[in-house]
Amino acid sequence: MQKLLLHPAAKPVVFVLCLLPLAWLVYATAANQLGANPAEALIRATGDWTLRALCLVLAVTPVRVITATPQLARFRRMLGLFVFFYAVLHLLSYGWFDMGFDLPDILRDIAKRPFILVGSLALLLLTLLAATSFNRAIKAMGAKRWQALHRTVYAVAGLGILHFFWMRAGKNNFGEVAVYAAILAALLGWRLWHRLRKDRVAAHRGGAASRPATPAARAKS
Ligand code: HEM
């Protein structure tokens, strides 16, 4: 498995796999398979794929640690950029089909509908993360500040779920929202647990290092 993940073809294969949802949407549009309201179906489908890509990118670290497969980390940037890619497609389909690219109308809609405002905030953060996902940005910002900025992906997860929840509130249909919320809560919850465990181990080691090793040494100290 580790050899496979390091294979030169691995990244292009993952890239093509990440494009499959778009290929399906283009095909389904051309073949008129999006139902009675294709515009709405496209806005929703691109929103769904943004959230699914977000779950996938947040799953990389837990899977990497739990399966001891460090090679998985090499796909994280690409998957992160695909979250941004589908979010931009989502915004473009809303901007085009719902708003006819009328900017004043879009700005009014952002101010009027809270779920659109929350979606816009999430997209703003995603844009920052995408813009700083290259090595040059990491060097310019320094590892610590870069990591702090990229932890805002957790806020994107929260905003994405709130956006979806508020969008569905009018329809009283929360089934899918609950599934995504549970997946994201598990992925973020694992991080918290892993972090606390690491801190505990470090504190224990630190305590052990500062304590004199033998009873005699302890008696002397
Ligand atoms: C400027 C940013 C955004 C705008 C303007 C926007 C707009 C919309 C609109 C108009 C809908 C459909 C509402 C309806 O059919 O009643 C929608 C649904 C959705 N959006 Fe967004 N959105 C934005 C950002 C995001 C982001 C960043 C995410 C994910 C993190 C996201 C995930 C979703 C999901 C999952 C749905 C529901 C799809 C479904 O019903 O299956 N959106 N959004």
Q: What is the pLDDT of residues 97-144, one digit of tens each?
A: 999 999 999 999 999 999 999 999 999 999 999 999 999 999 999 999
Domain membership of residue 133 (yes or no) is yes
Write the CA distances from 67 to 61, 82, 123, integer angstroms.
10, 24, 31
Domain membership of residue 64 (yes or no) is yes
The reply to whether ligand 1 has any atom less than 6 angstroms from the CB of 86 is: no
The reply to whether ligand 1 has any atom less than 6 angstroms from the CB of 91 is: yes
C-alpha 147 to ligand 1 mean position (Å):
27
Q: Which atom of ligand 1 is nearest to the CA of 126?
A: 27
The reply to whether ligand 1 has any atom less than 6 angstroms from the CB of 98 is: yes
Domain membership of residue 221 (yes or no) is no
Answer with the residue of higher pLDDT: 28 or 208.
28
Domain membership of residue 209 (yes or no) is no
Across 17-23, average pLDDT: 98
Paired tokens of 46: 């691109």
Domain membership of residue 206 (yes or no) is no
Q: What is the pLDDT at residue 197?
A: 93
Tokens 């500062």 sit at which residue? 210
Alpha carbon nearest to ligand 1 atom 21, residue? 47
Q: How many domains does the chain have?
A: 1
pTM across the whole model: 0.92
What gap in Å lies between CA 48 and CA 128, rounded to an integer?
21
C-alpha 52 to ligand 1 mean position (Å):
12
Q: Which atom of ligand 1 is nearest to the CA of 40?
A: 15
Q: Which of 90, 92, 120, 188 to mutate to test the pocket of ligand 1 (most atoms within 8 A of CB)?
A: 90
Q: Quick check: 8 pLDDT over 90?
A: yes
Band of the pLDDT at 4, cuts 50, 70, 90? very high
Q: What is the pLDDT at residue 214?
A: 63
Average pLDDT of the chain, as a whole number: 93
Alpha carbon nearest to ligand 1 atom 32, residue? 47
Q: Which atom of ligand 1 is nearest to the CA of 157?
A: 30
Q: What is the pLDDT at residue 204?
A: 84
Domain membership of residue 211 (yes or no) is no
Domain membership of residue 166 (yes or no) is yes
The reply to whether ligand 1 has any atom less than 6 angstroms from the CB of 44 is: yes
For residue range 153-195, list pLDDT tens digits in order: 999 999 999 999 999 987 878 999 999 999 999 999 999 999 9
Domain span at residue 10 reads: 2-196
The reply to whether ligand 1 has any atom less than 6 angstroms from the CB of 184 is: no
Q: Quick check: 57 pLDDT over 90?
A: yes
Domain membership of residue 12 (yes or no) is yes
Alpha carbon nearest to ligand 1 atom 41, residue? 44
What gap in Å lies between CA 131 and CA 207, rounded to an integer?
42
Kindly provide the b/e burial profile for residues 12-25, where b requires at least 16 CB atoms within 10 angstroms of the residue's own CB: eebeeebeebbeeb
3-state secondary structure the chain: CHHHHHCCCHHHHHHHHHHHHHHHHHHHHHCCCCCCCHHHHHHHHHHHHHHHHHHHHHHHHHHHHHCCCHHHHHHHHHHHHHHHHHHHHHHHHHHHHHCCCCHHHHHHHHHHCHHHHHHHHHHHHHHHHHHCCCHHHHHHHCHHHHHHHHCCHHHHHHHHHHHHHHHHHCCCCCHHHHHHHHHHHHHHHHHHHHHHHHHHHHHHHHHHHHCCCCHHHHHHC
Nearest alpha-carbon partner for 48 in 163, 194, 140: 163
Alpha carbon nearest to ligand 1 atom 39, residue? 44
Q: Is 164 exposed, middle or buried (0-12, 13-18, 19+ CB in 10 A)?
A: buried
Paired tokens of 88: 């931009």
